[in-house]
Amino acid sequence: MFKHTIPTFLRVLFPTLTWRVKTQDQAVFLTFDDGPHPQITHWVLQQLKRYQAKATFFCVGENAQKYPELLSAITANGHRLGNHTMNHLSGWSTPNHYYYQNIQACEKVVASNLFRPPYGRITLNQIRNLKRMGYQIIMWDILTRDYDANLPIQQTFTQCMRHIKPGSVVVFHDSEKAQNQLYQLLPLFLQHLSQQGYQFAPLPNA
């Protein structure tokens, strides 16, 4: 069992979610969850710039509210914003009406129809309703687990590179918990994938 990919049965169970982008291009889709964070997001933007890489930032609304200048910096640099709820709520343990309210509150700040459920926890009912409300729900096929300080970086990197392919959606976190791992992993990803001829693009509309 690979720690860094999503089991096929989940993709089959939830075919209306985006797990990977259909693309003819040699492109991967880097995503950064849980920010923005004043130092870490700023650092990420600098790294991306060095490779002319574009990405998508799934912001937590309460963080986005605190750092509007970071939101502007993200979009001004050609990246895309996504909604990650106002308060990082799990869809499994939140009443539906409150979950939707929290997502709409976040949308007022980040203005995006891309949505990623925190912890990947969302119910079929919520998926249906959010799609009806116009959201495109973005999952991933490559999870770096950068929030886990116990995972050896080189092993994580090797596993991710073994599974990555054109259209892959990769999850990083611009958060303090992930900072140490992120600061090692992201430069490795950017350098190695660039050498392989990959481009880094923001998520497209469905």
Enumerate binding residues for Zn ion (CB under 5 A): 33-34, 118
Whose CA is closest to 103, among 67, 79, 72, 127? Answer: 127
Q: Which is nearer to Zn ion, 117 or 167 (CB)?
A: 117
Q: Which is nearer to Zn ion, 89 or 193 (CB)?
A: 89
Q: Could you give the CA distance from residue 105 to residue 7 in angstroms, rounded to a whole number?
A: 32
Closest approach, Cβ 88 to Zn ion, in A, equals: 6
Q: Which is nearer to Zn ion, 91 or 118 (CB)?
A: 118
Q: Which is nearer to Zn ion, 34 or 146 (CB)?
A: 34
Q: Do the beta carbons of residue 199 and residue 27 sit within 8 Å?
A: yes
Closest approach, Cβ 118 to Zn ion, in A, equals: 4
Residues near 54 by Cβ (< 8 Å), separated by ≥ 6? 48, 77, 78, 79, 80, 200, 201, 202
Q: Do the beta carbons of residue 185 and residue 142 sit within 8 Å?
A: no
